Structure 1
């Protein structure tokens, strides 16, 4: 439209600092785009030099949300006109301390002034605020004031550790420790940061130097042993784990962790009876440990696979009785049914499976139990996608969509967040707003709101569940599934778990986009598919993510026949799947899922398989495209 072209012209003029021309173009764009005029007027104010003219612009802004941004716009205007001191004061008053400090650094080269700024910056680093702010503050401190004193290095290392900057912590801790600063806690932090970087041998050495207090020494002893194992020094690691039980028998966390890891190592070696011994010791000696329910479950699973099915059944039952609120309780009820069935008691087996279906009908174990009982897995009753009219929600959604097209992503996000907050008057309004969000491609926000609506009494029908299990970029998803001969419900279920259909999602490990492809893997896949050029930023493009992720899924589907193996490889890597596939009993795909040692991957495999069934019930797609 003409208004959008005017806005793009204004932003181009803004970038080259032609402020008067930019302000005039923003004004014209605001007049042409009344739906977004308040937000555009804020842009006009930022490039307006005269304060009285800015005040007049602010008076024309009527929306409550844009008015909340007037202070920030005024600070930005002071910055653009060269009033760094005024801008810094305004940003500081708003709580934007880092922005204020950056501006102050540009104001003067006076040594006393910069020393004061240095103190303020260090205070910001050590204040324990948002991790993103701490990371940015550390980067600024390093870039402007390096080299730091050893005292500053210690403070920065502690803050970096807490903020997720393991490499910066590893750089700072040894400087401070070698100068005699810090103590056992800093040594422990240094070792932990080394472990996060995969420097396990170095981490083990540092953990071995932590001697007090007792709880920290016990934890360090366990982490040392784990680092030795991860470094490939398995014999030494096992010996260190065994020693923990003798040295720290009363430390529940360290001793139970050591026994649990010994059990896992024995399972990897197919020494299942030895693994069961370790798991039972962890559960019975340390019943209050967080590992106790999982240790009981794994011990019972080993008994089921290698010993007496009736004993395993009783142990699964005891786990469900003793730890009814644990994550293992639903699994133990289902597996008690399988164990009783194997023991020849079909009546009790069916009773356990009926119990497993009585909780959350969308759960993995409810679905498995229903099939064991010869029933279809639960699916929501059919209902058309009809929602109450919410004119204000529709207008906000249209405004947010316009803002997104204009590149005003922060403003669009603010509108969406306000829309979600305003929806909670009734369950039906929440569903209608969730539908509006879904129509704009905002699946994650729609999911959250639809879940709240369910909790508030919304019907558990297909209309509601298509909001809880939405699809965006459907045409591209179906096309890629067809190209790679994949079940589109499988792809949709995986995307929902990976990114909640947010194409801008980035994981802590660096995976990107809808299907959470790592940049290195994306480059390899792009090469295989003949991409003429490659940049990891392309992973944020939905069509690219769908193409590469689906291609990788097909690669894994060719390698593995079971969906549980494909999913485990997609999440944790094929090398780990090869190792887990050597465990006893894993020819049964249900057993394989349970014997995955990683909590995240185990949950991932179970959830996606159940979600796949729900997507099949909600959307009229073929199970496998050809």
Structure 2
């Protein structure tokens, strides 16, 4: 279930467990399929079904109400208003659902006064507990918007009376609105009923009340007293305290408070650092702390600026100056400011730094040169770093990068020469082991299987555990097979078995099982059965559903956090919670509990542990969209598991969004092609729209490339690279070798993971898509 951008109105739906398989029979009622689609969270599909209705069926109040529910589910609140504002049957159809839905739409479209009117009419006759509680919350939110805090607080109170599980959150919301009146006694009384609400939020309400009452000193004391007890939120409280001090004109105390904020939690103190950086006459020490804070909180450009300010104010020994100047260059590189990075680093190089510092500066100059588009010069400078500073860490890094660049460009002889240099001169390093693996792959590609075997054998013996040992062992076995020496066949079989035993459900484990001709699932026990979730977790999940229906998504997210932060100990309980979380649409959290169960079982695999680690959220959406594009739904589930772990609100560093991690420009192109009306980039966080567009895009790639690996490459790295890379000869003769030769390590991992996930989902959910589950 989506928390921060959940496109669900009150009275729409709650994600719930559904049976595997195709949609059930809906009889002769043309609206039954629409209602079923809405219950499955398929709002856009429901809209399409309604558009296809003709005649009397499309003109009924029932059809109009379903249409409005579908519009609301995809966030089209203006359409809900247009559809319902003039009808006469709002209170006579569906227990008044239309009235409540129109009120919510008025609130979402900036008409709180009319929302209040609608909610009050609905509450006069509504008798059902959940709709009444949700409507009271909607009424309270509308009254908040109108600046009527007493009435809003009363509505929150009535919501808690109807649904006591809402009490802590109704209390904090009521306290926050009453704080505007400065009634500290009333606010404190409400806060006593909100003790399970995080302290930082309770503190905020109490502070607002004191400020409205004119007692700034009490507000300051509350902020500063609570700050040490709220973890990373301490920086927020201290920053607010500093802002209050600034308003009083006490800039010295404000600066002291901001200094405490950035020194206590620099990773979370970017706002505090931004405010402090605007103060005049800061000391050199201040600029140093600001630089470190910006660096740790992910603002490299600001960090570089503050380090520069520090150097201007502080006389340093040569070695310290060089270290900070080097940091400035590296931060500018991380910020994508390559020309500025080169300028700063060349300034450092001209100052005669130590050999190690100069080597690192030249390494980043080489990388920045390459990133600026000067590829030949960038490679030449990397080579120069390796030659000038043999044995240095920067030389090792330069060679590693240079080998990757040459291999990615298809220049195998030069790549081999670089990798051999790493193996010869940097024995024992991680880069040496990676280079040896690449040498083994390239030797295998050239048909020198004995040399490949030699590299892989040495590598697997050096690695005690981990992914590199697994992959090296697998290819050591393959090299033995390829040699064709009968004496090596028994050892190849033994190595394949080792791979399967160590990682039975990973990419190489599955390949090894295929080579051995064994069923990797045959010996898999069911394992611990999921325990029924405890009463407290069940209550919290109900609260999350109710809060989400009421539009209180941040509150729902906070409750979810209390589930994930306090896991049980037994694997049965962990698996049970994982299942429940997946059923509610919290796939990412379900995966976390699955891995916790796996750890509690000391790494032993079982079917139930695998289902917990590989959950199946948003089943009906995935099934329907895959079916419409003639895709295997298990494959779409595998992609969702790899891309987002079924988290619909996730955004990657590159900007990809949602379940299938679609870039906004890709989403816009496919939305236009598929006729998705009123499209916006925000809709990529809507599970159905995301899967609708992603499935169409992947189906198009499958049509173009007619091969899974290449389609996955195109989805992850782009069609242009897929077209380029398929020109490699191994693509046509050895898919496994081709996967190893994908130039980008991220894409290599992606392609392997999705293929193994695909096999897992196909086995664990073999009934998904209409096939009966295996016994």
Asked if Structure 1 and Structure 2 have the same fold, meaning a TM-score greater than 0.5 normalized by the shorter chain, the answer is yes
SS at match of 1:328: helix
TM superposition shift of 1:429: 1.7
Determine if the alignment matches structure 1 residue 229 to structure 2 residue 370: yes
Q: Which residues in structure 2 correspond to 1:210-609 (within 5 Å)? A: 210-211=348-349, 212-251=353-392, 253-345=393-485, 346-378=489-521, 380-381=524-525, 387-388=531-532, 390-457=534-601, 460-583=605-728, 585-587=730-732, 588-609=734-755
TM superposition shift of 1:371: 0.8
TM superposition shift of 1:229: 2.5
Determine if the alignment matches structure 1 residue 52 to structure 2 residue 197: no
Residues 460, 469 of structure 2: 8 Å contact kept: yes
TM-score relative to the length of structure 2: 0.73
Render the CA deviation track for 1:88-136: whole Å, top value 9, x for unaligned.
331222223434433553566565x1354245435644x37253x3332
Render the CA deviation track for 1:217-244: whole Å, top value 9, x for unaligned.
2222222222223333232222222222
Cα distance change on mapping 1:164 and 1:57 into 2, 3 Å: closer
TM superposition shift of 1:300: 1.0
TM superposition shift of 1:595: 1.9
d(CA) in 1 for partners of 2:370, 2:255: 43
Residues 39, 66 of structure 1: 8 Å contact kept: no
Q: 2:272 aligns with which of 128, 132, 137?
A: 137
Cα distance change on mapping 1:69 and 1:623 into 2, 3 Å: same
Please list every run of 5 or more consecutive structure 1 residues that lacks an aligned counterpart in the other structure: none
Residues 245, 254 of structure 2: 8 Å contact kept: no
Determine if the alignment matches structure 1 residue 187 to structure 2 residue 325: yes
Render the CA deviation track for 1:359-399: whole Å, top value 9, x for unaligned.
02111101011111122344755689864363333222212
d(CA) in 1 for partners of 2:723, 2:308: 38
TM superposition shift of 1:338: 1.3
- Across the aligned residues of Structure 1 and Structure 2, the Cα RMSD in angstroms comes to 3.2
d(CA) in 1 for partners of 2:652, 2:149: 38
Determine if the alignment matches structure 1 residue 94 to structure 2 residue 226: yes
Residues 293, 326 of structure 1: 8 Å contact kept: no
TM superposition shift of 1:613: 0.4
d(CA) in 2 for partners of 1:222, 1:174: 21
Render the CA deviation track for 1:220-269: whole Å, top value 9, x for unaligned.
22222222233332322222222222321121x22222222232233234
Cα distance change on mapping 1:615 and 1:76 into 2, 3 Å: farther
Determine if the alignment matches structure 1 residue 36 to structure 2 residue 176: no
Residues 88, 100 of structure 1: 8 Å contact kept: no
Q: Which has the higher contact order (CA 8 A, sep 6+)?
A: 2
Cα distance change on mapping 1:443 and 1:326 into 2, 3 Å: closer
Residues 87, 100 of structure 1: 8 Å contact kept: no
Identify which range, 432-441 or 331-340, moves more after superposition. Answer: 432-441
TM superposition shift of 1:538: 1.6
TM superposition shift of 1:543: 1.2
Residues 305, 584 of structure 1: 8 Å contact kept: no
Count residues in correspondence: 618
TM superposition shift of 1:202: 4.2
d(CA) in 1 for partners of 2:632, 2:662: 19
Cα distance change on mapping 1:193 and 1:107 into 2, 3 Å: closer
1:611 alignment partner in structure 2: 757
Identify which range, 582-591 or 303-312, moves more after superposition. Answer: 582-591
Residues 420, 433 of structure 1: 8 Å contact kept: no
2:768 alignment partner in structure 1: 621
Larger Rg: 2
Render the CA deviation track for 1:272-331: whole Å, top value 9, x for unaligned.
233222112212311232212110000111111114212211221111001233532111
TM superposition shift of 1:418: 3.0
Determine if the alignment matches structure 1 residue 206 to structure 2 residue 338: no
d(CA) in 1 for partners of 2:168, 2:248: 41
TM superposition shift of 1:547: 1.6
Determine if the alignment matches structure 1 residue 17 to structure 2 residue 142: no
d(CA) in 1 for partners of 2:617, 2:402: 45
Render the CA deviation track for 1:462-507: whole Å, top value 9, x for unaligned.
3332222112221111122122222211111111111111111122
Please list every run of 5 or more consecutive structure 2 residues that lacks an aligned counterpart in the other structure: 1-130, 228-233
TM superposition shift of 1:455: 2.5
1:74 alignment partner in structure 2: 206
